[in-house]
């Protein structure tokens, strides 16, 4: 085992490469308030979710729910599945991912490459089908010996897996952080990080961001294209969305989220995913209104590489009326104005 905050020069397992992700300063307001991005794409699989995937499997092994030669089953939009695929490959488990057509093709390809069995829910179109996926995953695991449905929406390990993110931020900034902002899907990432960080930064303000159309912060419900995040209509808001920890819940539209991801890429050469685009959009709107010299940390769930066929593809964007050069130009202008160096 490696310590959570330090890494030996040579590691022997891919999961030893999880964590210790960098902070990047994206913007600074005139009053010195800074926006720092916690770049979780530097984890194996290019996403934060491998942190909770490992935690859920460690917990299951400890409880005896999963033993040698066991079978893991999960409903996933992709990043959790990629994390579980790594853990399964490393520890010799069989892994079945229940997916829908909303998942980014590269996430599915990645899981397959690591030996995952993919089961598609029987639905049309590229909308999200979270509820159908979860039902099928639960059915597949029911009554089977040494078979574990990780059930990320209701698994406490999902939040615990992010405690290290809180510790890493606290250590890197010597607890000098005022605001934490991040996407809310299962709620594990933001709430797990916030719970740990609040231990040493009790005055921390926590802002949750979900796609417009998602229901964790209220109606109206409608379809959205931001991948891996939010709670679509029909799905249950997971136990890990801890409203007591979240000071403000806000929503980002697909157009703004994707325009921001595209503008950030051009502005500084950083590829972030679509949900992270929504988070950065909301963070940039709030930055100039923070107290002087404040520090806002944005939890960046994944990188943009998996979205070359979607967010970064003009044809895909145009076909769904998501391409809006004026919004992109506006974000670029904001970034140029805020960036000091
Ligand atoms: C790209 C992306 N953004 C945001 C989220 C939401 O994170 P959480 O489920 O921890 O709330 C996920 C979760 O799968 C994701 O894959």
- pLDDT tens digits, residue range 171-223? 999 999 999 999 999 999 999 999 999 999 999 999 999 999 999 999 999 99
Indicate which residue's Cα is closest to atom 15 of ligand 1: 228
User: What is the 8-class DSSP label of residue 236?
Assistant: P
Pairing of strands 34-39, 23-28: antiparallel
Q: Is the pLDDT of residue 254 over 90?
A: yes
pLDDT in tens, 120-131: 987 776 666 788
Annotation says 49 is catalytic: yes
pLDDT digits (tens, 9 = 90+) for 219-231: 999 999 999 899 9
Cβ of 230 closer than 6 Å to ligand 1, yes or no, is: no
Residue 143 has pLDDT above 50, yes or no: yes
When pLDDT is averaged across residues 248-268 and rounded to a whole number, the result is: 98
In the predicted model, is pLDDT for residue 145 greater than 70?
A: yes
Q: Nearest residue CA, atom 1 of ligand 1?
A: 228
Q: Can you tell me the distance from the alpha carbon of 252 to that of 147, in angstroms, rounded to the nearest whole number?
A: 37
Task: Give the position, in ligand 1's atom list, of the atom nearest the Cα of 158.
Answer: 10
| Helix, strand, coil shares, percent, the chain, to 5 | 45, 15, 40
Report the C-alpha gap between 138 and 330 in whole angstroms.
45
Mean model confidence pLDDT for the chain: 95
pLDDT for residue 131:
83
CB 77 within 8 A of CB 226: no
Residue 243 confidence (pLDDT) above 90:
yes
Average pLDDT of the residues in 269-296 = 98
Confidence (pLDDT) at 18: 97
Nearest-CA residue for ligand 1 atom 16 is 228
Average pLDDT value for residue range 96-122: 91
Residue 215 Cα to ligand 1 middle (Å): 15
* Alpha carbon of 340 to ligand 1 centroid (Å): 30
Q: How far is the CA of 337 from the centre of ligand 1 (A)?
A: 29
- Tell me what the mean pLDDT of segment 160-164 comes to: 98
**Any bridge partners for residue 302, and if so which?**
47
**How confident is the model over 236-248, as a mean pLDDT?**
95
Q: Is the CB–ligand 1 distance for residue 185 below 6 Å?
A: yes
Q: How high is the pLDDT of residue 249?
A: 98
**Ligand 1 and 79: CB distance under 6 A:** yes
Residue 3 pLDDT: 65
Query: Is the Cβ atom of 214 under 6 angstroms away from ligand 1?
Result: no
Ligand 1 contact via 40 beta carbon (within 6 Å): no
Please, are residues 102 and 129 in contact by the beta-carbon 8 Å criterion? yes
Task: Give the nearest ligand 1 atom to 274 CA.
Answer: 1
Residue 122: predicted pLDDT: 77
Structure tokens at 263: 């503008």
Compute the average pLDDT of residues 130-146.
91
Is residue 247 over pLDDT 90? Answer: yes
Predicted pLDDT of residue 215: 96
Q: Report CA(31)–ligand 1 centroid distance (Å).
A: 32
Closest residue CA from atom 10 of ligand 1? 189
Cβ count within 10 A of residue 115: 12
Q: pLDDT band for position 165 (50/70/90)?
A: very high
Task: Give, as one character, the DSSP assignment of residue 214.
Answer: B
Closest by alpha carbon to 279, among 252, 312, 242, 249? 252
Catalytic residue among 49, 212, 251, 306: 49
| Tokens encoding 194 | 């916030």
Report the distance separating Cα 164 and Cα 58, nearest Å: 15
| Residue bearing the CA closest to ligand 1, atom 14 | 228
Q: Is residue 290 over pLDDT 50?
A: yes
Q: How far apart are CA 53 and CA 291, in angstroms?
A: 37
pLDDT at 1: 43
Residue range 92-112: mean pLDDT, rounded:
91
**pLDDT for residue 150:** 97
């Amino acid at each position: 085992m490696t310590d959570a905050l330090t890494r030996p020069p040579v590691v022997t397992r891919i999961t030893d490469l999880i964590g210790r992700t960098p902070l990047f300063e994206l913007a600074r307001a005139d009053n010195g308030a800074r926006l720092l991005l916690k770049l979780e794409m530097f984890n194996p699989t290019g996403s934060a979710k491998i942190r909770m995937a490992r935690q859920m499997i460690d917990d299951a092994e400890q409880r005896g729910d999963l033993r040698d030669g066991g079978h893991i089953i999960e409903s996933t939009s992709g990043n959790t599945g990629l994390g579980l695929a790594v853990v399964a490959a490393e520890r010799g488990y069989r892994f079945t991912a229940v997916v829908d057509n909303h998942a980014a093709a590269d996430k599915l390809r990645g899981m397959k490459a690591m030996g995952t069995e993919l089961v598609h829910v029987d639905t049309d179109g590229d909308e999200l089908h979270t509820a159908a996926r979860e039902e099928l995953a639960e059915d597949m695991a029911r009554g089977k010996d040494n078979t574990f449905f990780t059930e990320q929406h209701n698994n406490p390990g999902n939040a615990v897996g992010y405690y290290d993110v809180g510790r890493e931020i606290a250590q890197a900034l010597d607890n000098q952080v005022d605001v934490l902002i991040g996407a809310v899907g299962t709620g594990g990432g933001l709430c797990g990080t916030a719970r740990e960080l609040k231990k040493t930064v009790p005055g921390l303000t926590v802002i949750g961001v979900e796609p417009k159309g998602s229901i964790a912060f209220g109606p109206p419900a409608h379809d959205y294209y931001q991948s891996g995040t939010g709670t679509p209509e029909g799905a249950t808001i997971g136990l890990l969305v801890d409203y007591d920890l979240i000071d403000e819940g806000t929503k980002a539209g697909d157009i703004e989220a994707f325009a921001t991801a595209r503008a950030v890429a051009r502005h500084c050469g950083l590829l972030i995913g679509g949900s992270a685009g929504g988070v950065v959009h909301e963070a940039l709107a709030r930055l100039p209104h923070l107290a002087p010299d404040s520090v806002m940390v944005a939890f960046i769930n994944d990188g943009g590489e998996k979205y070359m066929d979607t967010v970064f593809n003009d044809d895909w964007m145009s076909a769904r009326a998501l391409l809006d050069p004026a919004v992109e130009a506006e974000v670029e202008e904001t970034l140029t104005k805020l960036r000091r160096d």
